[in-house]
Amino acid sequence: MSRSRAGQAVPVQLPEETRSVVKAAGLIGVATFSSRILGFIRDMVMARLFGATPAADAFFVAYRVPNLLRELFAEGSMSSAFIPVFTEYQTLKSKQDAWELASAVFTTLLTIVTGITLLGVLASPVIVWILAPGFHGDPAKLDMTTLLTRIMFPYLLFISLAALAMGILNSMRAFAAPAFSPVFFNLFIIGCMLFLSPALPEPILGVAIGVVAGGAAQFAMQLPGLKLRGMLFGFRLEPGHPGVRRIGILMLPSLLGLSVTQINITVSTILASFFPGGPTYLFYGMRLIQFPLGIFGVALATAILPTLSAQAAKGVMDELAATVGFGIRMILFIILPAMLGLILLRVPLVHLFFEHGSFTHADTIATATAVLCYAMGLWAFAGLRIIVAAFYSLQDTRTPAISAAVAVVGNIVLSVLLMAPLGASGLALATALAAMLNGGILVVMLTRRLGGVDWRSIGRSSLRAAVACVPLIGVCLWVAGVEIWNRPGDWVLKSAMVGLAVAISASGYAGMQAMFGSEELQLVWGMVQRKLGRLFRR
């Protein structure tokens, strides 16, 4: 907040691009919140039905394969390589040129990913043998993992096309349909678990079928938005199209760059197969981490990439550096309290969400320990989204790839060192430390590339956030220390306690930020006021 000569506080005037980024991030955050809530319901149903059983371990290892490839070929490298080039076509060329590029990319992607999917189905036994060395002594578990992998491989095709549709719509500042599409993914899985699984001889197969059906629904629901904007792609087999070639060149190094977290998690999954229940504990632990990461970190990175790409295309590096600094400040403003909340309330949250049916209290403690280790790196996971988006907006995928390679090696070394004393949780800690290493390297390189980012403002914002978390720490420590979390039942009381803790913590944090005159809080609150004002005027 700035001050007039009379000493009165006046609102901070922020550029229109900054306001549009926050508005888009808010929309994506609301949609992601809806999806995450359904995702938690999905995970609760999954935990209740399958717990940390061999069937659950088999599913989570099998799901790791298409999920990793999704990051590599869809939501990771393809989207990040496509959006800057497509935005440049929109900014500097005609709408027809942009449509031809989109159609050429669609046809090329469809051809390549179909081939990868067919190859993956055929090679599933080999893939599972490599990914789950801990299953080698259990042929039944190994066979089930192979079958689940084969069933879920087509998910890669649908989610890749959905990511392309998302890239086009986001580049055109249309965020609603792509952001809400994961809701349908979760609905299909929940429906299949509840209604299809009981009718199958192996109930876990119903979950795999739901994954594929949900991926198809994610793609289908974005098609009307493309048609409305005249961007419903057609078939144009032009692998030599200049834009396609540029996207391909950008994709090659970014196959590693943006997907380093998924690669590290996959390494953890491979090593976790040596621990009974290990893959399940890591999956549910990361699910809690992905809740704030998806709602705030991914939402802001998704919203900011088109703006960064447009600024890079125009060559306005000062504006790009300012947008990066703003993005990092907003990430830390949200993620720091979320990180502390997850660390302090890890046992109550895991107990409340997952300790039902086949999921035991011992599973809760193991999963909560994984949450603790992952949460230590939450700020790095979220910050990486912004930093890597900045490099990709500059069409530099080489630097993130080199940094990611260093981080992957670091993760493997740390995993081997930490898994012996800490078990599966050591693998989670290694993933968090690798993200910190990756982020540190990229921050140094980006600062050199842009000629400087306003780290002083970022430092002040981080210090305000840390001090403002004091009320949150006190409330969460009190709630986590209550004995109620060591016994079953009383679910209404437990839900009320967690909900009240979150509400009081958020209010205390916002109040402290308001006392400090936080620009980030002022901006968010201004957006909320304008939104409420429009609603009441209707």
State both tokens at 527: 């957006």
Q: 18: which 2 tokens?
A: 């900054």
Q: Name residues whose C-beta falls within 8 Å of residue 521's C-beta, 6 or more positions apart in sequence.
A: 333, 510, 513, 514
Query: Letter for the amino acid at 329?
Result: R
| 256-260, 325-329, 470-474: the lowest-pLDDT one | 256-260
More confident residue, 523 or 58: 58
Q: Which of 526, 289, 294 is nearest to 431 (CA)?
A: 289
How confident is the prediction for the chain on average, in pLDDT? Answer: 82
Q: How many CA atoms lie within 13 A of 360 on its CB side?
A: 6
Mean per-residue pLDDT, 280-289: 86
Give the residue-averaged pLDDT of 398-417: 87
| Nearest of 360, 330, 317, 339 to residue 451 by alpha carbon | 317
Structure tokens, 115: 């081939």
Contact 273, 279 (CB under 8 A): yes
Classified as helix, coil or strand, 50 is: helix
Alpha helices, DSSP H, located in 355-377: 361-375
The pTM of the full predicted model, rounded to 2 decimals, is: 0.68
Tokens 């898994």 -> residue: 419
Handedness of CA 244, 249, 252, 258 (dihedral sign): negative
Position 10 scores a pLDDT of 37
Task: Answer whether 148's CB lies under 8 Å from 205's CB.
Answer: yes
Helices within 172-277 (DSSP H only): 176-191, 204-220, 223-228, 242-257, 260-272
| CB distance 59 to 210 below 8 Å | no
**Which run of H or E residues covers position 513?**
helix 491-515
Q: 392 pLDDT band (50/70/90 cuts)? A: confident
**Residue 4 pLDDT:** 39
H or E element that contains 10: strand 9-10
Specify the pLDDT at position 535. 45
Residue range 145-194, pLDDT digits in tens: 999 999 999 998 898 888 888 888 877 877 777 777 888 888 999 999 99
- Cross-strand partners of 9: 3
Asked if 178 and 234 count as a contact pair (C-beta separation under 8 A), the reply is no
pLDDT of 205 above 90: yes
Which DSSP symbol is given to 258? T
DSSP state of 388: H
pLDDT over 90, % of the chain: 27
H helix intervals, 394-454: 398-422, 424-450
- Give the Cα separation of 10 and 6 in Å (integer): 11
**Cα–Cα distance for residue pair 172/232, rounded to 1 Å:** 13
For 110, the domain range is: 2-537
Angle between helices 398-422 and 378-393 (to 10 degrees): 160
| For residues 209-236, average pLDDT | 89
Is the confidence at residue 302, as pLDDT, over 80?
no
Q: Is the pLDDT of residue 74 over 90?
A: no
pLDDT for residue 516: 86
Give the C-alpha separation, 460 to 163, whole Å. 36
Phi, then psi, of 10 in degrees rounded to 5: -130, 150
* 245 backbone dihedrals φ, ψ, rounded to 5°: -65, -45
Give the pLDDT score at 213.
94
Give the side-chain half-sphere CA count within 13 A for 98: 23
**pLDDT at site 2:** 42
With bands split at pLDDT 50, 70 and 90, how would you rate the model's confidence at 7? very low
CA 410 to chain centre: 22
Q: What is the mean pLDDT of residues 460-464?
A: 89
Averaged pLDDT, 295-311:
71
Number of domains in the chain: 1
205: CB partners within 8 A, 6+ apart = 147, 148, 151, 197
Q: Residue 423: which of 483, 497, 367 has the closest Cα?
A: 367
Residue type, 299: A
